[in-house]
Structure 1
Amino acid sequence: MKIITIDGNNLILEDVVKVARENYKVELSEEARERVLKSRKIVDSIVENNKVVYGITTGFGKFSDVTISQDDCKTLQRNLILSHACGYGNNLSKEIVRAIMLLRANALSKGYSGIRLETLETLIEMLNKRVHPCIPEKGSLGASGDLAPLSHMVLPMIGEGEAEFEGRVLNGKEAMNEAGIQIIELTAKEGLALINGTQVMTAVGALALYDSINLLKISDIAAALTMEALRGIEDAFYSEIHRIRPHAGQINTAENILSLTEGSSFITKQGELRVQDAYTLRCIPQVHGASKDAVNYVKEKHSIEMNSATDNPIIISEDIVISGGNFHGQPMALAFDFLGIAVAELANISERRLERLINYQLNDLPAFLVKKGGLNSGFMITQYAAAALVSENKILAHPASVDSIPSSANQEDHVSMGTIAARKSLDIVKNVKRVLATEIMAACQAIDFRDNLNLGKGTMEAYKVVRQNIDFIEEDKVMYKELDKCTELINNGSILEAVERKVNLKY
């Protein structure tokens, strides 16, 4: 059985993807169980001794000065979930919901939230039995955590809301019953513990980040294919030029291009056909490399966030219960804005390489890469579609983190908009996949117009995968279907896996 053990400290990005996309099961470590039990004893003591502690024996937000009696603690926590579940828009995908549930469980397992063990185990049981709450994508400010969407996550746990189970959307109570999971009654601190965290933005960002890392490699493969199709100059990738400007991403990209094109007779040397290439070929290491460095920065910050306690108040001991601001999503808001900008640039330069492939004024190939131009349009409008996606990305890349709207009667007067930043970055990633797929397909088409030349050891593998699935475009056909095929070769990892059997690509 495929199982991920969580303890609040050691979750990695690949674990999130396994649970989200491959339905790995989840279990708590014994150490985590002990920490959760210890933290819960502190909450019970606070309630029994009528201490005034935010979120446990008080209201929330601006109502923090309203003391709640011991008898009303359960009502307080239930009302919190009901009132805060006010999201809007399309529901988040199943894989994002699974990532959210995993990340919230991991944060709670650190033992600083005061949740009961049985409540945490209910959340994990839902994940393992694939009861997926319906969570609207919009409604989070990204400070005081992802309150609205996480409340929707909790609704089925208390028999409310809706959830998807075995392919059907059911009301929360029915979904839990059919899965054989007991509905719970929230007690002191538990509602707040479940929803006051950054797990929605972190989950959306996790999948965007994972796909971005793969796109960094795909972008190098696409660029190398275009380099060969246009008979690019390899000198600009020699290590001598990059070690004197030693950005890691730049160095790695240059090495990747040389490795991918090793043994190629398409590639030329400086002065052989021309003295220098246009920037979109010559500056591939500098542009792709900068995106690699940015994505690696995001990965570092994301790794910290996945294994952090991000709720409020934080329970350290019976005498130390601190109302702080770990729920504020600013570290992730900035990171995901950066991620979106970095990945958008991969499409920006890719689309310009696509233009060089199809524009007969910029190469020695048939116009729009088709034999009977005029009667056929070939790849003409693929560039239009790619340009539209690139332009959309420029709008999406506007940072969300520079915005803030005060909430809760100005008690919560600065918020991060981190969940919007994460959602935008994921949209950008999807657009970039299509642009890179278009470049790859056009580059393979261009390559087929050249005779008696050999591809490099890495590019040959990419070319073979494409040609096994997509034919040379002899005459116009329904183009989106061909582009869909190439996009799927990126989505399912076929191109990357084939290339990496021959070349160790760095990012």
Structure 2
Amino acid sequence: MIALTGDSLTFKELQRILYNGEKVEIDQTCLETIHQSRRAVETIVQEGRTVYGINTGFGKFSDVRIDVENVEELQRNLILSHACGVGPLFSERVTKAMTLLRANALVKGYSGVRLVVIEKLLEFVNLEIYPCIPQQGSLGASGDLAPLAHLALALMGEGDVIYKGQRMSTASCFQLLEIVPLTLQAKEGLALINGTQAMTAAGAVAYMEAERLAFQAEWIAALTMEGLNGIIDAFDEDIHIARGYPEQIETAARIRAHLDGSQLITRQGEIRVQDAYSLRCIPQVHGATWQTLKYVKEKLLIEMNAATDNPLIFDEGNKVISGGNFHGQPIALAMDFLSIAVAELGNISERRTERLVNPQLNDLPPFLSASPGLQSGAMIMQYVAAALVSENKTLAHPASVDSIPSSANQEDHVSMGTIGARHALQVIANVRQVYAIEAICAMQAVEYRGFEKMAQATQSLYQEARLIVPSIVKDRAFYVDIEKMNSWLDDVDIEHIEQKKPLA
């Protein structure tokens, strides 16, 4: 059981909740702060003080005063009117992360919600009830309004949810599980939707997938090194220490470990003096992606534990401030950076695949074909990789450089961070496919070179991967192989592949 404090959620804990189904609760030390914050809201309502979001309209309507008898209707109307997202639904994993992170923000005690609101969010997390939340419709400022409104709609017993793989009305799910719908009171609707949890949830899942893929990219690159008789000298520790980037040094060390004892790698001058950049510069390029991942992780960890709604309540209600913590710019920039960095992993992988299949660049059978000419072998697999990396070049165009005014120009600068996070997820999915293709081609190449000459680490991985995709002895519908390898990379969690420290 993981206890939420609002300040201390880690990626390791998030991984356990999202991937291992660990349950969540509210840390008991937070209860008094939550209650104090709620009492402050109730006092404001009773005293008739005018405070944004409690007894006023929203956005351009912030100057419209709401009578006390209409405060609950105000919150309900807010959710109903804002639940207008479109497009495909967020994945169950992202939706669960969104629900969890919204609860974690409210636990901090700055938002003025009742304890029951947070408990309802965690009930959804623990029972694995997934509100149907469309991906499109957030500008990434004023909070992820549309996506989070769909989340809040489900808490109210409305809209649709997915439970045990089945889409159903929330009312039916609540009846099945004997759950009581939430009736929102003053400020609670605004507190649920004024936040960055859609972009942060998508970003956190993207980061975890990107980290795993980056480790997998290294062993696949090592396999390609063997398939092409790559020169190991370029990975010598002294070269990388001379430049000084820790991530570059660490990448080179992991590649050396993967290739330790290999009889398929060469020394400079044995076959050729230098390798092409896609082999020789693996530590520099992959290492730069690791630098980016470090930056992205740092920003996400802050945002995962941040108070991002508006207004925020301090000093037991004596200070209530309208600000802009809902603005997603920090995450928007991080997501754009993540897309670019992962896209580059795909770019260099596709160039290695080209070197594996192009007979003008190696001494292997053309296109790794079992019968060149009669059979095309891996020719079109490289086409697919090329198409994917080109698609990523459009997806990696920064979303954060765009803005468009909304709410009658009251909200005149927005982050587009949720678009950036969605693009990052798609880029990562594409790059995983690119590495599935490189892995298939690299395995075929080392098979031609001599399986028995491989390093112990790569040979072990080769054997496991061959259980997924068999040797190419004749042409077949290779989309099946790509799908199988991609699914394996998406699911596999092998310590000797990743060689990583636990997520912090």
Q: Which TM class, normalised by the smaller chain length?
A: over 0.9
Deviations 1:368-417 (A, max 9, x none): 11221111111000000111100000000000000000011111000000
What residue is the counterpart of 1:315 in the other structure? 313
What residue is the counterpart of 1:488 in the other structure? 487
Q: 1:239, CA displacement in angstroms?
A: 1.2
What residue is the counterpart of 2:189 in the other structure? 191
What residue is the counterpart of 2:9 in the other structure? 11
Deviations 1:185-228 (A, max 9, x none): 11110000011000000011111100100111111111111111
What residue is the counterpart of 1:176 in the other structure? 174
Deviations 1:462-501 (A, max 9, x none): 211112222110101111111122112211115x43435x
**Alignment check: 8 A CA contact 2:12 2:502 kept:** no
Distance 1:452 1:380 in 2: 23
Change (3 A) 1:499 1:90: closer
What residue is the counterpart of 2:291 in the other structure? 293
What residue is the counterpart of 1:371 in the other structure? 370
What residue is the counterpart of 1:412 in the other structure? 411
* Partner SS, residue 399 of structure 1: coil
TM score, norm. by length of structure 1? 0.97
Identity of aligned residues (%): 53
TM score, norm. by length of structure 2? 0.97
Query: Which residue of the other structure, out of 6, 10, 23, is the alignment partner of 1:25?
Result: 23
Gaps of 5+ in 2: none
What residue is the counterpart of 1:166 in the other structure? 164
What residue is the counterpart of 2:434 in the other structure? 435
Query: Which residue of the other structure, out of 260, 267, 277, is the alignment partner of 1:279?
Result: 277
Name the amino acid aligned to 1:430: A
* Partner SS, residue 177 of structure 1: helix
Q: 1:283, CA displacement in angstroms?
A: 0.7
Deviations 1:448-470 (A, max 9, x none): 11137521232122211112222
Q: 1:159, CA displacement in angstroms?
A: 2.4
* Partner SS, residue 411 of structure 1: coil
What residue is the counterpart of 1:306 in the other structure? 304
Distance 2:20 2:422 in 1: 21
Distance 1:49 1:120 in 2: 26
* Partner SS, residue 149 of structure 2: helix
Distance 1:157 1:265 in 2: 60
Q: 1:35, CA displacement in angstroms?
A: 1.6
Q: 1:236, CA displacement in angstroms?
A: 0.8
Name the amino acid aligned to 2:136: K
Name the amino acid aligned to 1:325: G
* Partner SS, residue 469 of structure 1: coil
What residue is the counterpart of 1:455 in the other structure? 454
What residue is the counterpart of 2:474 in the other structure? 475
Distance 2:444 2:76 in 1: 60
Q: 1:505, CA displacement in angstroms?
A: 8.0
**Alignment check: 8 A CA contact 2:232 2:265 kept:** yes
Gaps of 5+ in 1: none
**Alignment check: 8 A CA contact 1:217 1:505 kept:** no
Distance 2:275 2:157 in 1: 63
* Partner SS, residue 2 of structure 2: strand
Name the amino acid aligned to 1:76: L
Change (3 A) 1:260 1:375: same
Deviations 1:43-73 (A, max 9, x none): 1111111111110111111111111111111
* Partner SS, residue 411 of structure 2: coil
Does residue 246 of the first structure (1) align with residue 247 of the second (2)? no
* Partner SS, residue 216 of structure 1: helix
| Cα RMSD after superposing both structures | 1.5
**Alignment check: 8 A CA contact 1:47 1:56 kept:** yes
Distance 1:21 1:74 in 2: 37
* Partner SS, residue 110 of structure 2: coil
Distance 1:316 1:278 in 2: 59
What residue is the counterpart of 2:213 in the other structure? 215
**Alignment check: 8 A CA contact 2:191 2:310 kept:** yes
What residue is the counterpart of 2:63 in the other structure? 65
Distance 1:157 1:483 in 2: 40
Query: Which residue of the other structure, out of 102, 105, 113, is the alignment partner of 2:103?
Result: 105
Q: Structure 1: which 4+ aligned runs deviate by more than 4 Å?
A: 503-507
* Partner SS, residue 243 of structure 2: coil
What residue is the counterpart of 2:443 in the other structure? 444
Q: 1:21, CA displacement in angstroms?
A: 3.2
Name the amino acid aligned to 1:274: R
Change (3 A) 1:504 1:115: closer
* Partner SS, residue 132 of structure 1: strand
